[in-house]
Amino acid sequence: MLKQCGLSLLFLLMSAHATATVIEEVIEVPVSVRNIYGQEVSQRIKVTVFRDDQRMNAPYLVLNHGRPANGNLAGMQRQRYSENSRYFVSLGFAVLVPTRVGYGESGGPDVEDSGRCDSRQYPPAYAAAADQTIAVLKHVAGYSYVNAARGIVVGQSFGGATAIALSAREVPGMVAAVNFAGGGGGDPVGHPGVPCSAYRMTAMFRSYGTTAKVPTLWLYSENDQFWGKKLPLEWLAAYTGAGGKGEFVQLPPYKEDGHASFVGNRAAWQPAFEQFLRKLDFLPASP
């Protein structure tokens, strides 16, 4: 039997790319993290799993969510990214989507708060998110449907920067990180394109580059209203300048705010994403 923990919900969905059934289920994972003040929080978080019911020992793909600019963490409910997750399953992955501490159904205190806009303490906030990813991977190591010894970490917005944070750490089986619109401190309404303490974000990415372990892919839209067009390039330059390996893909504008391209404009990024997977031998080479 599959090792499982907590409430499990099974939904049978037909994959758009195969005849196999995609199963969606919810597990609970115990995590322990610290906030920017060093206070420890231990609790269980909800993790949504998408997998092919016919595929055992599939490489993992952890998909980390973002952080709402309006501060309504509880309103995020349980994170799923269902269409994207089913797409990742069609590429051969077992997909793990944590709803981290402080968000949605997982609840708890906001351990990823990074402080005042003019003096953000970013590294501890991303460390808290990264620690939860590692806890999830350790938890599923005994599950028959996932190969915890090989996989990638993907993230959107705050989750994208978390993927880069993880690229600088020893993560079980992680061979690459993919950053969709990653960053922190953005406010597309109050100060579009000018996130809080952007120079501190640059310094954080630079620090990640000094200990980077795996190749990374960075994808940002031209009209991202959270970071603007120039800052993501500066962040990548800081990361690679310090020793990290990163490939940048400039996505076209999407509606009024390209920050949502991960969900809303999949056709723009899927070719580059799949090409990256081929380099890692997750997909067969193009004919």
What number is the average pLDDT over the span 275-281? 98
Q: What is the pLDDT of residue 6?
A: 38
Q: What is the pLDDT of residue 27?
A: 98
What's 278's DSSP letter?
H
Q: How far apart are CA 238 and CA 183, in angstroms?
A: 13
Q: How far apart are CA 261 and CA 246, in angstroms?
A: 20
Q: What is the pLDDT of residue 244?
A: 98
Q: Which residues of 94-124 are buried (b: 16+ CB within 10 A; e: fewer)?
A: bbbbbbbbbbbebebebbbbbbeeeebbbbb
Whether the predicted pLDDT of 10 surpasses 80: no
Instruction: Map tokens 């952080």 to a residue.
Output: 67
Q: What is the pLDDT of residue 205?
A: 98
Burial class (CB in 10 A: 0-12, 13-18, 19+), 150: middle
Whether the predicted pLDDT of 8 surpasses 60: no
pLDDT band at 13 (very low <50, low <70, confident <90, very high): very low
Q: What is the pLDDT of residue 20?
A: 72
Q: How far apart are CA 190 and CA 192, in angstroms?
A: 6
Q: Confirm if 97 and 154 have CB atoms less than 8 A apart.
A: no
Against a cut of 0.85, is the pTM above it?
Answer: yes
Whether the predicted pLDDT of 94 surpasses 70: yes
pLDDT band at 19 (very low <50, low <70, confident <90, very high): low
Whether the predicted pLDDT of 40 surpasses 70: yes
Of residues 286 and 253, which shows the higher confidence score? 253
3-state DSSP percent of the chain in helix, strand and coil, to 5: 35, 25, 40
Q: What is the pLDDT of residue 185?
A: 97
Q: What is the pLDDT of residue 287?
A: 62
User: How many residues are listed for the chain in this entry?
Assistant: 287
Cβ contacts of residue 116 below 8 Å, gap of 6+?
A: 196
Phi, psi dihedrals of residue 169, rounded to the nearest 5° = -125, 165
pLDDT band at 286 (very low <50, low <70, confident <90, very high): confident
What number is the average pLDDT over the span 125-133? 98
Neighbours of 241 (CB within 10 A): 12
What's 17's DSSP letter?
S
pLDDT tens for each residue of 158-201: 999 999 999 999 999 999 999 999 999 999 999 999 999 999 99
Domains and CATH numbers, the chain: 11-279 (3.40.50.1820)
